C-alpha cells in the first residue's frame, strides 16, 4: 500500500523532483534524493521553490515552504491535479533565464537580557556559561531564514550553535512581547508580535518583523540571512529597519515573486 | 451595527486570505466556509464578509436599514423578541436589537448582511487573523461597544427591495421576512444537492437533509496523507474503525480528537513541513488533530490524512463530545463533491437573484 502515488516526476538541475497529491487541493514537491548536507538541502529547496514561484500559473493559489517540501495549492474547482503537475514540470524544465533568488542580509539590533530578555540569566545558568558568552555565541553566526510560519512573519532560522540549545520553558508565557528574541530547543527566532509562546527569551529588537500595512508585510523572506548584534539599553534604534539590500545580485531572470518583496518599507 | 454583547468568540470573517503562505499566513477565513457561502447566497451575493459567532452568539443594535440572514450552527436568534429562524432573510429597520443565543446543532454561525461589512481589506481579505492579530475589527474578536461598519447605502437599497417582496412581521414595525427560508441543517449536512432546495417555496424540510441525528457519529471523508505509510497496518485499521470524540479544547486552529491512541513510529525525525486546513496530524500523544482555518502553514507531526475540502465545514461544526469517524474516498470523489457543492451555491444564488429580478 503506498500512501500517495507519485503523480509526476521531472528533472530540475539534474535532480529528480517527485510530485505527490496533497489532499484535494495541493501538490507536494520533494527531491527524490535530497542532499545529505542540510545547508545544501536548504539551498536546493529554496532555489527550486523560487523557480516555482517565479513561473507560477494563475491557477496556482499559493506556494508554501517547509524544511524538505514545497507545496503548491490550487483550486480544484478551476483546475485538476494533472494540469497543475504538468504546469509544474514545465515551470521547472525552463532553463533559460533561470531566476536567482535575491537574498538580503539583515543585521538586527537586539537588547540582550534585563527586561528585554528575562530568561537570559536562566539560559546562561542552564548552559553553564556566563551571560556575555551566551550573547557572544548568539551574535556570532549568520542565520538562514528557511521559511516563515507559525504566525505571520515568524522566521524559522537555521544556524543556532549546538552549544546554545536549551529546553523550552516548562510553562509557556501567555504573552510574549513583540520583537522578543528567543531560543527553543535547537532553534532561535524572533516573535513578530505579542503572542503566547514557550521559548526562553534572551533579548528583544525594536524592528517590526511584521506589519500588515507595510509593503512587504514581512521584513524577512525565505532565503534571507540574519545576524544579531547587541545594543545597549537606552540606545535609540530605528523602529523601521533599513531598506532591503540584496547580497546576491539578481541574475538574468527577474521574477514576479519579487514584485511585492521590493524596496518599499 | 453596534455590538451590545460580544458572545463567546465573534469575529469578522470572509472566505480567507489566499496566497500569503510565504509570509507565514494561513488562509484563515470562516471556519465553516460553506455556511458563510450559503448565507451570502441567500442574499444573492458572494464573497462578502460576515460576523462569525462561536457557540454563544452576540447581541447587536441595528443602526441603519439592513437586510440580514444567519446560517450555520442553528443558533437561536430573535429580533426585538420575534424569533428569527436561521436561513430566513429579513429586512430590519434601524433601532431594533438582534440577539443570538446558543448554538443548537454546531459551533459556528454566520450573520451576513446585504453588501457585507465595511471593514478595510488587508492583504486582499476582510478576515480577522486572530493569530497574527490584524484584519477585521483591529485584528481581534469583536467587543461590546464596537461599531461594525456596514454599507448603509447598499443596506437601504436592499431594505426597500426585500421589504417590497417580503411579508411584514406585525410584532416588530418595519420588519419584513422573506417568504421562503433555507434550513440551517442544510449546511451542517451538505453531502449531496438536495432537490428540495430549489422548490417553489425555497423551503427545505429538515428531514430531507440526511442528517439523522445530532448524536450520530459524524463521518469525515479523507484522502491519505504523506505519512500514511509510516503507520503500521494495524494502526491504520484501528484509525479507520474507531470513533473519536471531539475534545473541548478544539478551536479555529484545529479539531482535537480523542480515542485509542495511535502508536507513533519511533526514530523518525519529523521536521516542520507544509500543512493545510483539513490535514490530520497525529500529535505526540497519539491523538489526531484535524487542522482548521487558522492552522499554521507548517506542522511537525505525521500527517496521516487530509479531510476532503467538501467536509471541512462539517468538521469545524463538530461540537465537543461529538463522535467522529473517518472514511477513505478517492481523489475523483473528493473533486466531484466539491464541484457539486459549488453548483449548489450557484443555484441558490441564482435562484434568489432571479426570483427577485422577476419582481414577485
Q: How far apart are the C-alpha atoms of B56 and B286, rounded to whole Å?
A: 31
* Nearest-by-Cβ selection for A2 from B18, B229, B278: B229
Residues of chain B neighbouring A73 (CB-CB closer than 8 A): 21, 276
* CB–CB contact A149 B131 (8 Å): no
Residue A56, domain CATH: 3.30.1360.40
Regarding whether A125 and A72 lie in a shared domain, the answer is: no
Q: What digits encode the pLDDT tens for the residues B316-333?
A: 999 999 999 999 999 999
Regarding whether A109 and A89 lie in a shared domain, the answer is: no
**Shortest Cα distance, chain A CAs vs residue B305, angstroms:** 8
Look up residue B59 and give its three cell numbers.
447581541
* CB–CB contact A28 B308 (8 Å): no
Q: What is the pLDDT of residue B48?
A: 96
Taking chain B, what is the end-to-end CA distance rounded to the nearest angstrom? 29
Regarding whether A222 and A115 lie in a shared domain, the answer is: yes
Query: Which of B134, B274, B329 is most worth mutating to test chain A (most A CB atoms within 10 A of its CB)?
Result: B274
Regarding whether A170 and A142 lie in a shared domain, the answer is: yes
Beta carbons of B75 and B87 less than 8 angstroms apart:
no
Q: What is the pLDDT of residue A130?
A: 95
Q: What digits encode the pLDDT tens for the residues A212-265?
A: 999 899 999 999 999 999 998 876 666 667 766 666 544 445 565 544 443 333
Regarding whether A119 and A224 lie in a shared domain, the answer is: yes
Beta carbons of B49 and B113 less than 8 angstroms apart:
no
Asked whether residue A208 is domain-assigned, the answer is: yes
Regarding whether A219 and A148 lie in a shared domain, the answer is: yes
B131 — pLDDT class (breaks 50, 70, 90): very high
* Nearest-by-Cβ selection for A66 from B135, B223, B273: B273
Asked whether residue A181 is domain-assigned, the answer is: yes
Q: ∠B155-B158-B163 over CA atoms, to 5°?
A: 120
Average pLDDT over every residue of B227-251: 93
Provide DSSP, B237-255. HHHHH--EEEPTT--SSEE
Regarding whether A110 and A53 lie in a shared domain, the answer is: no
Q: How far apart are the C-alpha atoms of B331 and B145, rounded to whole Å?
A: 47
Asked whether residue A111 is domain-assigned, the answer is: yes
What residues of chain B have any CB closer than 8 angstroms to a CB in chain A?
Answer: 18-25, 27, 122-123, 129, 131-135, 139, 223-229, 233, 271-274, 276, 278-279, 296-298, 306, 308-309, 331, 334-335, 338-339, 342
In chain B, what are the domain boundaries?
A: 2-211+341-357, 218-329
- Of A63, A93, A123, which closes a domain? A93
The whole domain housing A200 covers: 105-230
Average pLDDT over every residue of B26-54: 94
SS percent in chain A: helix, strand, coil, step 5: 20, 30, 45
A259-263, B74-78, B217-221: lowest mean pLDDT where? Answer: A259-263
State the DSSP code for B191.
S
* CB–CB contact B276 A23 (8 Å): yes
* CB–CB contact B306 A147 (8 Å): no
| Pick from A252, A123, A145, A89: nearest CA to A200 | A123
CATH superfamily of B218-329: Cyclophilin-like (2.40.100.10)
Q: What digits encode the pLDDT tens for the residues A120-158?
A: 999 999 999 999 999 999 999 999 999 999 899 999 999
Residues of chain B neighbouring A62 (CB-CB closer than 8 A): 18-22, 27
* CB–CB contact B308 A63 (8 Å): no
Strand partners, B103: B75
Asked whether residue A248 is domain-assigned, the answer is: no
* CB–CB contact A154 B24 (8 Å): yes
Regarding whether A175 and A147 lie in a shared domain, the answer is: yes
Q: What is the pLDDT of residue B274?
A: 96
Q: What digits encode the pLDDT tens for the residues B264-301?
A: 877 666 789 999 999 999 988 899 999 999 999 999 89
- Of A38, A61, A93, which closes a domain? A93
**A–B: how many Cβ contacts below 8 A?**
150
Regarding whether A140 and A87 lie in a shared domain, the answer is: no
Q: What digits encode the pLDDT tens for the residues B154-203?
A: 999 999 999 998 999 999 999 999 988 776 444 444 433 333 333 323 33
Regarding whether A136 and A205 lie in a shared domain, the answer is: yes
Query: Considering just the CA atoms, what is the radius of gyration of chain B in Å?
Result: 21
Cα–Cα distances (Å) from A103 to A124, A214, B227, in that order, read: 33, 19, 32
Asked whether residue A241 is domain-assigned, the answer is: no
Asked whether residue A255 is domain-assigned, the answer is: no
Asked whether residue A222 is domain-assigned, the answer is: yes
Look up residue B51 and give its three cell numbers.
460576523
Residue A155, domain CATH: 2.40.100.10
Residues of chain B neighbouring A84 (CB-CB closer than 8 A): none
**Shortest Cα distance, chain B CAs vs residue A48, angstroms:** 14
Regarding whether A69 and A116 lie in a shared domain, the answer is: no
Q: What digits encode the pLDDT tens for the residues A14-66?
A: 899 999 999 999 999 999 999 989 889 999 999 999 999 988 888 899 999 99
Average pLDDT over every residue of A78-83: 92
Residues of chain A neighbouring B19 (CB-CB closer than 8 A): 61-62
Count of the separate structural domains present in chain A: 2
SS3 B139: coil
Q: What is the pLDDT of residue B293?
A: 97
SS3 B321: coil
SS percent in chain B: helix, strand, coil, step 5: 25, 30, 50
Average pLDDT over every residue of B25-52: 94
Query: What stretches of chain A show up as alpha helix (H) in DSSP?
Result: 38-54, 81-93, 120-127, 131-139
Q: What digits encode the pLDDT tens for the residues A190-216?
A: 999 888 888 999 999 999 999 999 989
Amino acid at each position: 500500500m503506498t500512501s500517495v502515488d507519485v503523480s509526476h516526476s521531472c528533472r530540475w538541475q539534474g535532480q529528480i523532483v517527485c510530485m505527490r497529491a496533497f489532499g484535494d487541493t495541493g501538490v507536494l514537491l520533494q527531491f527524490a534524493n535530497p542532499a545529505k548536507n542540510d545547508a545544501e538541502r536548504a539551498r536546493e529547496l529554496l532555489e527550486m521553490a523560487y523557480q516555482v514561484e517565479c513561473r507560477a500559473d494563475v491557477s496556482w493559489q499559493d506556494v508554501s515552504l517547509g524544511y524538505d517540501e514545497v507545496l503548491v495549492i490550487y483550486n480544484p474547482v478551476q483546475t485538476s491535479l494533472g494540469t497543475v503537475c504538468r504546469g509544474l514540470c514545465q515551470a521547472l524544465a525552463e532553463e533559460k533565464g533561470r531566476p536567482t533568488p535575491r537574498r538580503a542580509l539583515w543585521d538586527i539590533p537586539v537588547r540582550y537580557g534585563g527586561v528585554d530578555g528575562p530568561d537570559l540569566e536562566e539560559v546562561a545558568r542552564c548552559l553553564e556559561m556566563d551571560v556575555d558568552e551566551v550573547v557572544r555565541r548568539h551574535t556570532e553566526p549568520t542565520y538562514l531564514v528557511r521559511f516563515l510560519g507559525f504566525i505571520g512573519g515568524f522566521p524559522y532560522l537555521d544556524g543556532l550553535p549546538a552549544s546554545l540549545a536549551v529546553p523550552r520553558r516548562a510553562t509557556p508565557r501567555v504573552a510574549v512581547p513583540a520583537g522578543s528574541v528567543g531560543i527553543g530547543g535547537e532553534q532561535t527566532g524572533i516573535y513578530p508580535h505579542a503572542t503566547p509562546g514557550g521559548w526562553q527569551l534572551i533579548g528583544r529588537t525594536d524592528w517590526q518583523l511584521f506589519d500588515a500595512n507595510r509593503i512587504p508585510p514581512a521584513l524577512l523572506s525565505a532565503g534571507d540571512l540574519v545576524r544579531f548584534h547587541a545594543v545597549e539599553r537606552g540606545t535609540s534604534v530605528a523602529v523601521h529597519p533599513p531598506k532591503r539590500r540584496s547580497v546576491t545580485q539578481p541574475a538574468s531572470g527577474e521574477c514576479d515573486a519579487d514584485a511585492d518583496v521590493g524596496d518599499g518599507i | 451595527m453596534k455590538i451590545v454583547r460580544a458572545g463567546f468568540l465573534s469575529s469578522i470573517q470572509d472566505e480567507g486570505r489566499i496566497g500569503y503562505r510565504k509570509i507565514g499566513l494561513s488562509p484563515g477565513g470562516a471556519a465553516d466556509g460553506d455556511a458563510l457561502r450559503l448565507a451570502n447566497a441567500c442574499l444573492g451575493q458572494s464573497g462578502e464578509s460576515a460576523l462569525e459567532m462561536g457557540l454563544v452568539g452576540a447581541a447587536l443594535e441595528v443602526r441603519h436599514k439592513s437586510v440580514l440572514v444567519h446560517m450555520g450552527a442553528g443558533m437561536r436568534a430573535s429580533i426585538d423578541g420575534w424569533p428569527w429562524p436561521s436561513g430566513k432573510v429579513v429586512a430590519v429597520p434601524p433601532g431594533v436589537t438582534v440577539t443570538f443565543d446558543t448554538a443548537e446543532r454546531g459551533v459556528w454561525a454566520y450573520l451576513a448582511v446585504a453588501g457585507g461589512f465595511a471593514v478595510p481589506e488587508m492583504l486582499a481579505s476582510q478576515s480577522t487573523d486572530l493569530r497574527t492579530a490584524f484584519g477585521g475589527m483591529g485584528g481581534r474578536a469583536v467587543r461590546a461597544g464596537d461599531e461594525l461598519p456596514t454599507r448603509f447605502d447598499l443596506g437601504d437599497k436592499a431594505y426597500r427591495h426585500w421589504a417590497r417582496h417580503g411579508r411584514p412581521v406585525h410584532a416588530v414595525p418595519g420588519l419584513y421576512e422573506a417568504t421562503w427560508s433555507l434550513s440551517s441543517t442544510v449546511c451542517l449536512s451538505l453531502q449531496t444537492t438536495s432537490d428540495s432546495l430549489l422548490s417553489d417555496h425555497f423551503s427545505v424540510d429538515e428531514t430531507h437533509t440526511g442528517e439523522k441525528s445530532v448524536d450520530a457519529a459524524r463521518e469525515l471523508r479523507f484522502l491519505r496523507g504523506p505519512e500514511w505509510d509510516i503507520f503500521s497496518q494495524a494502526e491504520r485499521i484501528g484509525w479507520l474503525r474507531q470513533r473519536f470524540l471531539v475534545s473541548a479544547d478544539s478551536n479555529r486552529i484545529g479539531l482535537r480528537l480523542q480515542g485509542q491512541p495511535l502508536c507513533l513510529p519511533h526514530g523518525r525525525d519529523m521536521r516542520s513541513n507544509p500543512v493545510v486546513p483539513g490535514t490530520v496530524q497525529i500529535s505526540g500523544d497519539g491523538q489526531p488533530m484535524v487542522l482548521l482555518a487558522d492552522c499554521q502553514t507548517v506542522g511537525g507531526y505525521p500527517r496521516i490524512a487530509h479531510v476532503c475540502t467538501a467536509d471541512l465545514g462539517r468538521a469545524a461544526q463538530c461540537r465537543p463530545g461529538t463522535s467522529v469517524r473517518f472514511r477513505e474516498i478517492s481523489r475523483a470523489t473528493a473533486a466531484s463533491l466539491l464541484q457539486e457543492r459549488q453548483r449548489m451555491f450557484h443555484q441558490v444564488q441564482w435562484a434568489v437573484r432571479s426570483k427577485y429580478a422577476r419582481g414577485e
